[in-house]
Copies of this chain bind each other. A is one copy, B any other.
Amino acid sequence: MARTTGSDGEKTEAAIREAALELIARLGFEAMSMRQLAGQVGVQPAALYRYFPTKEELLYALMCEHMENLIASWGEVRPATGSEKERPAGRLAAFVENHIRFHLSRRNATHVSNLELRSLSEERLRHILGMRSQYEGELRRILADGQSDGVFRIDDVALTAMAIIQMITGVIVWFRPELRLSEDEVAANYHTMTMRLVGAET
């Protein structure tokens, strides 16, 4: 994607991305126009196209950034090799907590990434799904390790990974900060449910 140098260009691009996530999450990708987006950012429509030559490139850039950030966030909290927490139960706890916190702090980007895949061209869709698969592969490895260590009771690793991903991503559908439970309480509850789901002692 085109990227102008210098801090003004970067600030404008960041402003475009943020406004686009908000508008797409609210209206849907098809319903949002580049003109509307330019108005929201406070620039001329032509300026948008310097950063994102097509509307689909904008969507793709947003989805790439979301997946790259998700994979990076897991890299940061992943328990160190050889540590006590690196055992399957500790890694699973870290994975669930990071996944929930990451998505709760990026609701718009999560909605866009989950709802707008159909608007990507085939090749770009494949790239996004490849990144997803890489990320979900981390979870599958945790589950398989716990299964072979005998600490998890799992009938089907791939199915269990999908079930957990969908369960923990679903938090953003209903969680509102003003509700009776805090983010910490929600994360703790989902951690307990996940451990039970994989048949680990809790």
- B residues in contact with A181, CB < 8 Å: 156, 159
Assembled-state Cα–Cα distance A82/B93 (Å): 40
Which of chain A's residues 158-202 have a Cβ closer than 8 Å to chain B?
159-160, 162-167, 169-170, 173-174, 181, 186, 189-190, 192-193, 196-199
Which of A30, A119, A169 is packed against the most chain B CB atoms within 10 Å? A30
Q: Contact between B174 and A162 (Cβ–Cβ < 8 Å)?
A: yes
Q: Contact between B156 and A162 (Cβ–Cβ < 8 Å)?
A: no
Instruction: Return the contact of A196 from the options B29, B162, B199 (Cβ within 8 A).
Output: B199
Q: Contact between A155 and B28 (Cβ–Cβ < 8 Å)?
A: no
10 interchain pairs (CB within 8 A)?
A27-B118, A28-B30, A156-B181, A163-B167, A163-B170, A167-B170, A193-B197, A196-B196, A196-B197, A196-B198
Residues in chain A within 8 A of chain B (CB atoms): 26-31, 115, 118-119, 153, 155-156, 159-160, 162-167, 169-170, 173-174, 181, 186, 189-190, 192-193, 196-199
